[in-house]
Amino acid sequence: MSDEEDIILADLPDDELVQQMFDDLYDGLKEEIEEAVHILLGRDWEPYRILTEALVGGMTIVGHDFRDGILFVPEVLLAANAMKGGMFILKPLLAETGAPQVGKMVIGTVKGDIHDIGKNLVGMMMEGAGFEVIDLGINNAVEAYLEAIENEKPDILGMSALLTTTMPYMKVVIDTMVEKGIRDDYTILVGGAPLNEEFGKAIGADAYCRDAAVAVETAKTFMARKHNQQAAH
């Protein structure tokens, strides 16, 4: 039996358990991650704290080693799968803490891009904050966004891109909306690791959101502005 198998997660103090979760996420051990999430919930950790400190914290380490060529796609896929296992448990709990519906958002990862963990996290946090979220998934062409906003009439359109090669596609979507004369009917928020504030401005988005918490705050600010404008008319 290896050392790994000897570890009883429930016996570890919080800090060691979080460190172990970093290792387990790194090793793509979904069941262990799920067990640890349940343990932390049992120790009265807030779902948001588990998400940010344990899961996102662990994924950051994976990201660094992927960048440095220490981990490769198959390993990172396993890590992502383990992360999703943990997120799945937290999702309803984050939603429970939310307020009544404050707005509606359509969100999707852009064409050519299959990264969805960050987008899913944004969706979960938005739901937790009381937004209705329509998730278009990954690899969305401009037509998919247009069809969804036409059908769903959201307040906010969110787009995610994790690759420098796919982020310019956000501009294709926004430019198409401008051409169709519908750009100003929606608040457009964009996010993803390679983006920044300047890029958001340059492509004509309303705001760039550094992370899921910022996305929620930004969305709330725009909804408040919208309500104030409606009240003034």
192 contributes a contact to ligand B1M by CB under 6 A: yes
Q: How far is the CB of 179 from ligand B1M (least distance, A)?
A: 22
Query: To which H or E segment does residue 158 belong?
Result: strand 156-160
C-beta of 20 vs 187, nearer to ligand B1M:
187
Closer to ligand B1M by Cβ: residue 17 or 216: 216
Q: Which residues pair with 190 in a beta bridge?
A: 159, 208
How big is the site for ligand B1M, counted in residues (CB under 6 A)?
37
Residue 16, SS3 per DSSP: helix
Query: Residue 123, interface with ligand B1M (CB under 6 A)?
Result: no
Residues 194-213: x where in contact with ligand B1M by CB under 6 A, - otherwise, as a string: x--------------x-xx-
Q: Which stretch binds ligand B1M (CB under 6 A): 13-21, 22-30, 39-47, 114-122?
A: 114-122
Among 67, 100, 228, 229, binds ligand B1M (CB under 6 A): 67
For residue 107, which amino acid is it? I
Our finding on whether 30 is near ligand B1M (CB under 6 A) is no
Question: For residues 214 and 120, what is the distance between their CA atoms, to the nearest angstrom?
Answer: 14
Q: Tell me how far apart the alpha carbons of residues 146 and 87 are, in angstroms, rounded to a whole number.
A: 29
Q: Is 188 helix (H, G, I), strand (E, B) or coil?
A: strand
- In the complex, minimum distance from the CB of residue 97 to ligand B1M, in angstroms, rounded to a whole number: 17
Q: Tell me if 189 contacts ligand B1M by CB under 6 A.
A: yes
Which CB, 6 or 123, lies closer to ligand B1M?
Answer: 123
Burial classification of residue 131, based on how many CB atoms lie within 10 Å of its CB (0-12 exposed, 13-18 middle, 19 or more buried): buried
Nearer to ligand B1M, 39 or 79 (CB): 79
DSSP states of 59-107? HHHHHHHHHTTSS-HHHHHHHHHHHHHHHHHHHHHHHHT--S--EEEEE
- Alpha-carbon gap, residue 159 to 137, rounded angstroms: 10
* Binding of residue 191 to ligand B1M (CB under 6 A): yes
User: What is the contact surface with ligand B1M in residues (CB under 6 A)?
Assistant: 56, 59, 62-63, 66-67, 73, 76-77, 80, 107, 112-119, 121-122, 158-160, 162-164, 189-194, 209, 211-212, 215
